[in-house]
Structure 1
Amino acid sequence: MPSSPATFSLQHTLPKLPVPSLEESCALYLKSLIPLQTKEEHEKTRSIVADFLASDLSKSLQQRLVDIDHASPTNWLEDNFWLKKAYLEWREPLMVNSNWYILGQVDAGHPKQLIANNGVQPKGLFSQFQVQRAAHMIRRGLEYKEIIDREELPVDMMRGNKALCMWQYSRIFSVTRVPLHHCDTLVQANAKEIRHIAVLLRDQVYTLNVYKEVEKNVWILLTTEEIENALLTLIGHVEKLSEANVPLSVLTSWQRDNWAVARNHLLAMEPTLHRSNLDKIETALFAVALDDYSNGIDNASWTKTMFCGHQGLGNGHNRWFDKSFTLVVENNGMCGFSGEHSPVDALTVSYIFDYMLQVPTPGEKSHAFIHPSSHVTHHDQVVFEHLKFKTDAKLNHFIAEAQITADATAALSDSNVLVFKDYGTNWIKKTGRVPPDAFYQMVLQLAYYRIHQTVTPTYETAATRKYLRGRTETIRTLSVDSKALVEGFDNDQLGDAEKYQLLVKATSAHREYTAIASDGHGCDRHLLVLRLLNADHQVLTDQGELVQVPMHPIFTDPIHGQSQVWRLSTSGLHAGIRLMGTGFGTVYPDGYGINYMAAPTLVKFGIESKNVPETVSTEKLMEVMQGVLLDLKSLCERVNGNVSKL
């Protein structure tokens, strides 16, 4: 059998991200505004857009973008704009606001005692199974890294046997977001040369070598048993620690400019030691957080742990939120991923977590807890370092202030996961007879409308990985047809056939926009860059002076900003059979962040909102969504017949 092509071997075959034409972006933009405007408002906007299209300015900006595209080694958007504008310039704390989480399934051999009573376990203790499972998953994660290093990961393909961009797989390990004044940066070491991970225990940061040198310059991975022994050694060390460091990791949950100032102070205070320590954290392959606590395995409690850190020590504790991903294992043995969004999309990293979960934890499972005097550690066989940080009054003040912010961020956040088991994509295809992703988007549209009695701009992520270094484009879910659906669905004057046709039209419109966006011809990224270019565009006057051009009214028209207030910010992941839920924070405080995993017989919605008067609780939203899902099922079965029991 021929072997599949090497992981990165088809990158050269990928086309560059296209620059959409002014005409197509403006037409798509205008069409998306219709459900948000009165006829008079829309006519006014239409004339503004027509003026922009006819202007010298639009043509000049477009040609500047074409020049940027020609000069870009890979991708006009990613190379020049996207990372900074979407992520690195954002100053809000990463915790909840930017970082995402994924929940892992119960292990096949999970000791039942650990997940009884909602999985709440004694505080301040680590369990044997927790360490076993963490060691197993670390080893699986490292194996995945080596598969990528050897370029043995199969190339993701789309229909027509065309390759998708694999670049994001090279942006997962040894990547850290570093806070700098005004705009963060990403640092990445060569993962093939890095031998250590970072382990967080009770707010202490350790580096742990997960490779050993068997002969000169020949390194092999530690076995699962060796990793387990190493973690036991670290636990033994932290339990005997007479002088613990301050909880420095809380600073990573702080507002980014504040963290940048605190980090700068940390480095200036002790340049050699602290620079070396931070370098070790930032270059680590990934982070592992072992919590001597369990916050509960109900979805509301579990998501709080994944979003906000070790709930026994406090919000923001025992995490390094800047790392590209952190494996979190609580003392009840439950696990999850916490990820930093900027270097790579959650979808890509989810495959690693899925790989870690594919094989159950081997060996005899014990529900016993580890007591400080009950285990022997083998320091001679374990290469680790406890990173020691010095502190002063100013740093202590920074940590105290970061704690106040972390508590406020956590208190504002309301998160949960709805697991709906009545039907999944099989039923939607066979009985609903509409595209599943579009169907779930209409569920969200209808739920929002039932709660708020209005429609709202809605963001859904479209992947543009058919292009070199393609990341995402916006699918504007709200359409004339989706508005007609939500306004007509609960109207008693309409019959079942009419309502079903509204669903068919709305899902068809959504599928059409999805194809356009995935093809790199959405309007949002294009208009974003044209606006940025307009902000620094100059022309020569007749007197030969360079002058700044004012912003064109297309960008100052109130609807331009209003149409991007994504009160529904949504994204779909794969079926995620081993993943119990995934989520991210809402982009706007009066909105909802919703990530869903649609499987053949069920769907999981991870939801986050804020505790503000403008929104309902996630519990209320889940209740309304459940009602919508059942109502749509009933409608489709009345119209199409119950052709499937799935």
Structure 2
Amino acid sequence: MAEAHQAVAFQFTITPEGIDLQLSYQALNQIYLSGVRSWKKRVSRMKNRVIKGVYPASPSSWLFVAIGILATMYMQSDPSMGLIAKIQQHLPLSLHVSLSSQGQTMVSALVFSTLLWLSLILALRFCLKLLLSYHYWMFEQHGRVSNTTKVWVTLMRLFSRKKPLLYSYQTSLPHLPVPGIQDTLSRYLESVRPLLTDSEFQQMTKLANEFESTLGHRLQRYLKLKALWATNYVSDWWEEYVYLRSRGPIMVNSNYYGMDFLYVTPTSVQAARAGNTITALMLYRRKVNREELTPSRVPGTVIPLCAAQCERMFNTTRTPGVETDVLLHWQDSEFVAVYHRGRYFRLWVYRAGRLLSPREIEYQIQRILDDSSPPFPGEEKLGALTAGDRIPWAQMRQQFFRSGLNKKSLDAIEKAAFFITLDDEEQGMKGDDPAGNLDRYAKSLLHGKCYDRWFDKSFSIIIYKNGKSGLNAEHSWADAPTVAHLWEYTLATDAFQLGYTEEGHCKGEVDLSLPPPQRLVWEISPEVQTQVCSSLAVAQALADDVDCHVFPFRDFGKGRIKKCRISPDAFIQISLQLAYFRDRGGFCLTYEASMTRLFREGRTETVRSCSKDSSAFVRALESGQETEEECRRLFRLASEKHQNLYRMAMTGAGIDRHLFCLYVVSKYLGVDSPFLHKVLSEPWRLSTSQTPVQQLELFDLKNNPDYISLGGGFGPVADDGYGVSYIIVGEDLINFHVSSKHSCSETDSHRFGAQIQKALQDIMTLLSAGAKSSSSSKGSNQPQSKKLL
């Protein structure tokens, strides 16, 4: 193929006169410049290792320590208390010969200064780790902050004055603690009490007590041993057994999606939207590689969160195995993989060590769109292998993709920075059926046609024909907040920094000498084509069963909720409990994802949102037998309980990760626990997650109210349950994503969405009535002159 020859740096032939060598100086220049870029990255990484290695100090602080030591020695004082003299005695013989006595003293002083500097750094890092291990600030009541927390806040601000790199805090973050087994069991029993009858609860209590008195403490000892040895006692097992060992399809079951702006599409030109989006993503990758991103923090505080999940964001793929999948990550990649109308392309986004301009990438994308060549036999639906069951895909990969053209093409996809699908459909809210269009938009991002995405990639970007975009992310390498941070940056950079011309094209100039994108070549055997059809059938059945409903709730947002002095998340979670009770006539085990990134390599913990307090409020409100004042009291108790559960999960005192790890230990030891088996087999019929808005400095919602994010969603966890994702945008909007399965006659995403809206409205009406009566009673107790003022 013609484009293949352009990648050849030199050619040679053997003649009777000898070897005839023909050099391509342009190609060699490209190799040279790419090498320069690679070495610049290595130097940058080495520099960053030094900077973050001495954080919270700086490399220049060594100079101040050395000058201080030399100055005190010049004043005839020995700050080392004799250590400098001892160091001088142990200097190498060559230095004794080549240096004068004064020179030897100088070298000894510099060695002592370096040792003192390193000791101070270790002391500072130890102090920072102690400060980051303090979590009681989270449980302080508003307006009643203890003196200990006040001192802690002051010290944290002092340590946070220096601008850190992305990974500066990593070694100072505390390790996730192992909760006491008795504490976990008591919290577990409390969490399931509203879900069980008296006899069922007595049986569960008996199982828990038997587990604690027999097997529990033995398993706990192994877990504590792991916690002493490993950086995080949960994360590696969570990644391995929850994600990578799953043998079913990851499409719908694991992967999740993120949407574009709700009301705005920056350009209707598909190639231009792809050009800016790819550029924004590569700029984000550059910030990650250079560690220029500011570490994420707990909102409203200086408390850093673990950034380890950023390491595998780009150049990463999940490869299938018969027993378990493996995550593969490459240090760098100068290209992306593109899919369009059944063909795969490799698109180089760097040339001569330079990132192509958005306009140049648009030009290259347009060349792909204009390419009319047909797919190779079996190529069009090849991506279905990543959408179906994992074992058949692993077997096909092992047998037919280990050599030849198939291996080269598969490597181009797996080693790409990320995956791009140029979709030939139009999506978005606009049209004759806005609500239905949003639902179809969600389904398209979640699974597409089941073969036009590469679900194994860390994330895939979808660019639709009308310029709308979206994201599909694989779940094993990171959690949604990390991907949401990336996607927010991409959308903001695309719309507000890169921008478009009046005609909707990317800005910048085009180098017309750019080689065309490289078409990937496949040799798909009949056996592989047969398996592609089987995997597609499995994936299509799963996709057709998903019922997605997306709706923006505009009646009120966090602004009005906060005026009621209620946590917005607690308000929504209790509303979901009320909605589910009305929808199904009872309560269920509810999963709310909470982060544990206050700890090193932390991922998530479960907040069991269905508590005895929330169920008491729902029953009181629905029975109609309690007064409004009593309902408000019960609601506030439920809200406080939920907030406390969320804080405990964030600070390492959750329930489910501890029990999960105990279960893994029991399997390694070959022992069975009826209690753990029952706990781990309980279905989460209501699985919920909040998508955080993190990049407020990039999204100026006051001046650009139309540029609001739709957030993202995921498939249902249980066959007879709901998946609910929500994003609180600005002060007056909450976007919801609801999913369920058509095959379950008891669930309906649209019906449940209507129940959510009604529950939110009913609870707000209840609280607003209380606020009015409270203000009127206060007014009636005041003198008339005060009321007039």
**Normalising TM by the smaller chain, what interval?**
0.7 to 0.9
Residue correspondence of structure 1 range 210-609 to structure 2 within 5 A: 210-213=349-352, 219-237=353-371, 239-241=372-374, 243=376, 245-267=379-401, 271-295=403-427, 297=429, 298-309=437-448, 315-359=449-493, 360=495, 362-366=499-503, 380-382=513-515, 384-431=517-564, 433-537=565-669, 549=671, 551-556=672-677, 558=678, 560-561=679-680, 564-575=682-693, 578-599=708-729, 600-609=731-740
Deviation at 1:435, TM superposition (A): 1.1
Which has a greater percent of helix? Answer: 2
Cα deviation code 1:11-45 (max 9, x no counterpart) = 11101111111111111111112112222322232
**Counterpart secondary structure, 1:162:** coil
Does the CA contact (< 8 Å) of 2:386 and 2:455 recur in 1?
yes
Cα deviation code 1:171-194 (max 9, x no counterpart) = 21011111111211111111xx31
Does the CA contact (< 8 Å) of 2:617 and 2:634 recur in 1?
yes
Change (3 A) 1:497 1:53: same
Does the CA contact (< 8 Å) of 1:209 and 1:382 recur in 2?
no
Q: Is the counterpart of residue 7 in structure 1 residue 146 in structure 2?
A: no
Whole-angstrom distance in 2 between the partners of 1:207 and 1:295: 25
Query: Out of 229, 239, 253, which is 1:83 matched to?
Result: 239
Equivalence for 2:47: none
Give the AA of the match of 1:413. Answer: V
Whole-angstrom distance in 1 between the partners of 2:693 and 2:428: 25
Equivalence for 1:371: none
Deviation at 1:203, TM superposition (A): 2.4
Change (3 A) 1:602 1:109: closer
Whole-angstrom distance in 2 between the partners of 1:430 and 1:151: 39
Equivalence for 1:180: 321
Give the AA of the match of 1:619. Answer: H
Cα deviation code 1:572-623 (max 9, x no counterpart) = 1114764213100111110011111013211011111000234332111111
Change (3 A) 1:205 1:643: farther
**Counterpart secondary structure, 1:274:** helix
Does the CA contact (< 8 Å) of 1:358 and 1:578 recur in 2?
no
**Counterpart secondary structure, 1:138:** helix
Give the AA of the match of 1:236. Answer: D
Deviation at 1:210, TM superposition (A): 0.7
**Counterpart secondary structure, 1:597:** strand
**Counterpart secondary structure, 1:333:** coil
Equivalence for 1:196: 335
TM-score, length of structure 2 as denominator length: 0.71
Identity rate of aligned residues, in percent? 31
**Counterpart secondary structure, 1:143:** helix
Does the CA contact (< 8 Å) of 1:246 and 1:391 recur in 2?
no
Does the CA contact (< 8 Å) of 1:16 and 1:468 recur in 2?
yes
**Counterpart secondary structure, 1:163:** coil
> Structure 2: 5+ residue runs without aligned partners?
1-159, 430-436, 695-706, 776-789
Give the AA of the match of 1:568. Answer: L
> Structure 1: 5+ residue runs without aligned partners?
115-128, 214-218, 310-314, 369-376, 538-547
Does the CA contact (< 8 Å) of 1:321 and 1:339 recur in 2?
yes
Whole-angstrom distance in 2 between the partners of 1:339 and 1:536: 31
Give the AA of the match of 1:623. Answer: A
Whole-angstrom distance in 2 between the partners of 1:427 and 1:443: 15
Q: Is the counterpart of residue 616 in structure 1 residue 774 in structure 2?
A: no
Question: 413-422 or 613-622, which moves further after superposition?
Answer: 613-622
Does the CA contact (< 8 Å) of 2:427 and 2:466 recur in 1?
no
Does the CA contact (< 8 Å) of 2:691 and 2:711 recur in 1?
no
Cα deviation code 1:376-413 (max 9, x no counterpart) = x9884136321111112211111111221122111100
Give the AA of the match of 2:604. Answer: T
Cα deviation code 1:80-107 (max 9, x no counterpart) = x110111111122122111101111168
Question: Aligned Cα RMSD in Å?
Answer: 2.3
**Counterpart secondary structure, 1:579:** coil
Does the CA contact (< 8 Å) of 1:101 and 1:336 recur in 2?
yes
Whole-angstrom distance in 1 between the partners of 2:165 and 2:516: 33
Does the CA contact (< 8 Å) of 1:594 and 1:606 recur in 2?
yes
**Counterpart secondary structure, 1:66:** helix
Residue correspondence of structure 1 range 8-157 to structure 2 within 5 A: 8-55=167-214, 57-72=215-230, 74-79=231-236, 81-105=237-261, 110=266, 129-157=269-297
Q: Is the counterpart of residue 171 in structure 1 residue 312 in structure 2?
A: yes
**Counterpart secondary structure, 2:759:** helix
Q: Is the counterpart of residue 638 in structure 1 residue 778 in structure 2?
A: no
Whole-angstrom distance in 2 between the partners of 1:11 and 1:182: 32
Cα deviation code 1:300-330 (max 9, x no counterpart) = 1101110121xxxxx2132101111111110
More RCO (CA 8 Å, sep 6+) = 1
Does the CA contact (< 8 Å) of 2:166 and 2:294 recur in 1?
yes
Deviation at 1:258, TM superposition (A): 2.1
Equivalence for 2:23: none
**Counterpart secondary structure, 2:457:** coil
Does the CA contact (< 8 Å) of 2:710 and 2:727 recur in 1?
no
Deviation at 1:501, TM superposition (A): 1.4
Question: 452-461 or 396-405, which moves further after superposition?
Answer: 396-405
Cα deviation code 1:492-519 (max 9, x no counterpart) = 2111111111211111111111111111
Whole-angstrom distance in 2 between the partners of 1:316 and 1:40: 46
Change (3 A) 1:39 1:586: same
Change (3 A) 1:8 1:223: same
Does the CA contact (< 8 Å) of 1:22 and 1:53 recur in 2?
yes
Whole-angstrom distance in 2 between the partners of 1:242 and 1:386: 10
Whole-angstrom distance in 2 between the partners of 1:242 and 1:250: 15
Deviation at 1:52, TM superposition (A): 2.3
Whole-angstrom distance in 1 between the partners of 2:584 and 2:263: 40
**Counterpart secondary structure, 1:641:** helix
Whole-angstrom distance in 2 between the partners of 1:254 and 1:40: 42
Change (3 A) 1:509 1:242: closer
Whole-angstrom distance in 1 between the partners of 2:593 and 2:533: 37
**Counterpart secondary structure, 2:401:** helix
Does the CA contact (< 8 Å) of 1:35 and 1:480 recur in 2?
yes
Deviation at 1:626, TM superposition (A): 1.2
Equivalence for 1:543: none
Does the CA contact (< 8 Å) of 1:347 and 1:573 recur in 2?
yes
Whole-angstrom distance in 1 between the partners of 2:773 and 2:519: 62
Does the CA contact (< 8 Å) of 1:109 and 1:365 recur in 2?
no
Whole-angstrom distance in 1 between the partners of 2:478 and 2:653: 21
Question: 445-454 or 246-255, which moves further after superposition?
Answer: 246-255
Whole-angstrom distance in 2 between the partners of 1:642 and 1:378: 70
Whole-angstrom distance in 2 between the partners of 1:420 and 1:109: 21
Does the CA contact (< 8 Å) of 1:229 and 1:378 recur in 2?
no
Change (3 A) 1:48 1:363: closer
Whole-angstrom distance in 1 between the partners of 2:342 and 2:384: 8
Give the AA of the match of 1:358. Answer: A
**Counterpart secondary structure, 2:661:** helix
Does the CA contact (< 8 Å) of 1:203 and 1:249 recur in 2?
no
**Counterpart secondary structure, 2:726:** strand
Cα deviation code 1:157-214 (max 9, x no counterpart) = 2366332101111121011111111211111111xx311111111122211111111x
Which has a greater percent of strand? Answer: 1
Equivalence for 2:346: 207
